[in-house]
Amino acid sequence: MNYNEFLRNKSKRQIQIGFDVCENDMKNTLFDFQKYCVKKSLKSGCFALFEDCGLGKTHQQLEWCAQIVAKEQLPVLILAPFAVIGQTIQEADKFGYSIKELDADNQTDLSGICIVNYEQLDNIDASLFVGVALDESSILKNFDGKMRNKIIDSFRQTKYKSCWTATPSPNDPMELGNHSEFLGIMSRNEMLSMFFVHDGGNTSKWKIKGHAEKKFWQWVSTWAIMIGKPSDIGFSDDGYILPELNIEENIIETKKRNNNLLFNDVAVNATGFNKELRDTIVERLDRAAEIVNNSKENFIIWIKQDIEGEYLRKIIPDAVEVKGGDKPELKKSRLLGFKNNEFRVLITKAKIAQYGLNYQNCHNQIFASLDFSFESLYQAIRRSYRFGQKEAVNIQIISTDTMQNVIQSIKEKERKYEKMSRDMVEAMKSNFEQSEKQQQEKKIIELPSFLKVA
């Protein structure tokens, strides 16, 4: 064995345990790029699909499940956030898939595609399913959380696994490690030791080794696809051009405080963040109400605290709120009701409605309470700013002169996310082009069947 062969044998390569499926055997409602993604994920057996909002992940996910059910004649499970389940069932009905919401108390007659929310995982016998799809799989970013460990351990022996999300966190490499570990590719600790270096400070601060950056994204692209638009994998972008996105910052000047300084502090730390929200509640929410009440169009208002929702409902007559303490059926009816234009203004928190919901019927959003999370902001905006949106999307961010570091933190995380996306798409395109070239070369040199030796 020479040195080059030794290096090739040391490289981490995913073992494909899936199966081939003919595109003609897929739903004809899938676009060509969606069929490609489904086919690639089925061939792999365990795969992650990081696709931007509006690219039809739900349709692809349902097809992935249906193909496995057809081949194995065993049930497949979709794990999803509670708020998304009703919408997924609607999508299944729309495209002709049979799906049922799983009753955690009755699992004696399982078949086909089943769906249940993450909170019910303790009541599910994972061994009964031949495949599992994690909808909005960025929940795995909780790398040391109970949910993360429960998901990975419960489905460690499951044959087919897939992850579906739009935003693997750009400033949290552990999330990609969690995806890799769940899929059975490589453990999070192995990934960190191979490609990352610790900065010596906080345990969550890891960065890619300078010389390993290209290799890292090449490795990720062997078990995941990341696309912002179909052309990223060689398909037409027809119908997938996003409208204009207008983001306006509304900065409220606060009254001078007794801080023994000439001006108020312009930065708030995580400890004092909630207090700052309470101290500025009237100024911020009055500004939000002014914008909404002077319009007849639909709005989503994102808040952080229950007291904010209570205040807004008093000053916006036609607003409906979805709270964490609401009964599940009420949450579901109101979240879907807004989608169906049953009311004009939705007030809710990002942790309730930031994932998976399709609100192309609304092109106006207000962030009345901004926090440090770029992912939360991105996902919330993407409820409206997604493929299929026909109008320019208008985002109003209301903050104060005492919270400018929050805006700066988000902008820095956005920069990292854009770099991550570029790096992975570049690596993925390289792999895609190499694979296509190999397929063409194989076709050229392949002998006719009658000349092959048995």
pLDDT digits (tens, 9 = 90+) for 261-310: 444 455 566 666 778 888 889 999 999 999 999 999 999 999 999 999 99
Inter-helix orientation angle 213-220/188-195, to 10°: 150
pLDDT computed for residue 452 by the predictor: 43
Identify which of 132, 28, 25 has the alpha carbon closest to the alpha carbon of residue 76.
Answer: 132
Find the helix or strand (DSSP H, E) in which 154 lies.
Answer: helix 146-154
pLDDT computed for residue 439 by the predictor: 57
Please report the beta strands in 340-401, taking only residues with DSSP state E, as ranges in sequence order.
Answer: 345-349, 364-367, 393-400
Judged by average pLDDT, the poorest of 99-103, 226-230, 405-409 is 405-409
Total-model pTM:
0.78
DSSP labels for 250-275? EEEPPPP-SSSSSS--S---TTTHHH
Q: For residue 74, what is the DSSP state?
A: S
pLDDT computed for residue 420 by the predictor: 73
- Beta bridge partners, 299, equal 345
State the pLDDT confidence band at 256, using cuts at 50, 70 and 90. low
Query: Would you say residue 258 has pLDDT above 70?
Result: no
pLDDT, mean of residues 133-146:
77
Distance CA 180, CA 152 (A): 10
Query: Would you say residue 443 has pLDDT above 60?
Result: no
pLDDT computed for residue 449 by the predictor: 46
3-class secondary structure per residue, 286-325: HHHHHHHHCCCCCEEEEECCHHHHHHHHHHCCCEEECCCC
Query: Would you say residue 209 has pLDDT above 60?
Result: yes
Distance CA 403, CA 293 (A): 26
State the pLDDT confidence band at 7, using cuts at 50, 70 and 90. very low
DSSP H stretches of helix in 11-143: 32-44, 57-72, 82-95
State the pLDDT confidence band at 451, using cuts at 50, 70 and 90. very low
Measured CA to CA in angstroms, residue 69 lies from 31, 63, 76, 116, 132 at distances of: 21, 10, 7, 17, 11
Distance CA 250, CA 243 (A): 22
Helix (H, G, I), strand (E, B) or coil at 414: helix
Query: Would you say residue 357 has pLDDT above 70?
Result: yes
State the pLDDT confidence band at 89, using cuts at 50, 70 and 90. very high
3-class secondary structure per residue, 81-96: CHHHHHHHHHHHHHHC
Which residues have a Cβ under 8 Å from the Cβ of 186 and sit 6 or more positions away?
A: 12, 177, 180, 194
pLDDT computed for residue 269 by the predictor: 63
Q: Report how many helices (DSSP H) and strands (DSSP E) the chain contains, helices first.
A: 15, 15
pLDDT computed for residue 260 by the predictor: 43
Which residues have a Cβ under 8 Å from the Cβ of 63 and sit 6 or more positions away?
A: 26, 27, 30, 34, 38, 97
Inter-helix orientation angle 146-154/173-183, to 10°: 20
Domains assigned to the chain: 10-238 (3.40.50.10810), 245-402 (3.40.50.300)
pLDDT, mean of residues 400-424:
76
- Provide the token pair at 112: 């086909």
Q: For residue 13, what is the DSSP state?
A: -
Judged by average pLDDT, the poorest of 141-155, 211-225, 250-264, 374-388 is 250-264
% pLDDT > 70, the chain: 81
**Which is higher by pLDDT, 119 or 46?**
46
Query: Would you say residue 170 has pLDDT above 70?
Result: no
pLDDT computed for residue 204 by the predictor: 58
* Residue 395, φ and ψ in degrees, nearest 5: -115, 125
State the pLDDT confidence band at 450, using cuts at 50, 70 and 90. very low
Report the mean per-residue pLDDT for the chain. 83
CA 439 remoteness from chain centre:
31
Measured CA to CA in angstroms, residue 326 lies from 163, 231, 332, 407, 434 at distances of: 29, 42, 10, 31, 51
Query: Would you say residue 166 has pLDDT above 50?
Result: yes
**Which is higher by pLDDT, 31 or 371?**
31
pLDDT computed for residue 334 by the predictor: 94
Query: Would you say residue 41 has pLDDT above 60?
Result: yes
User: What region does 404 belong to: left with phi over 0, alpha with psi -120 to 50, or beta?
Assistant: alpha
% pLDDT > 90, the chain: 44
pLDDT computed for residue 107 by the predictor: 61
Judged by average pLDDT, the poorest of 36-50, 137-151, 276-290 is 137-151
pLDDT, mean of residues 318-346:
93
- Beta bridge partners, 347, equal 301, 321
* Residue 399, φ and ψ in degrees, nearest 5: -140, 180
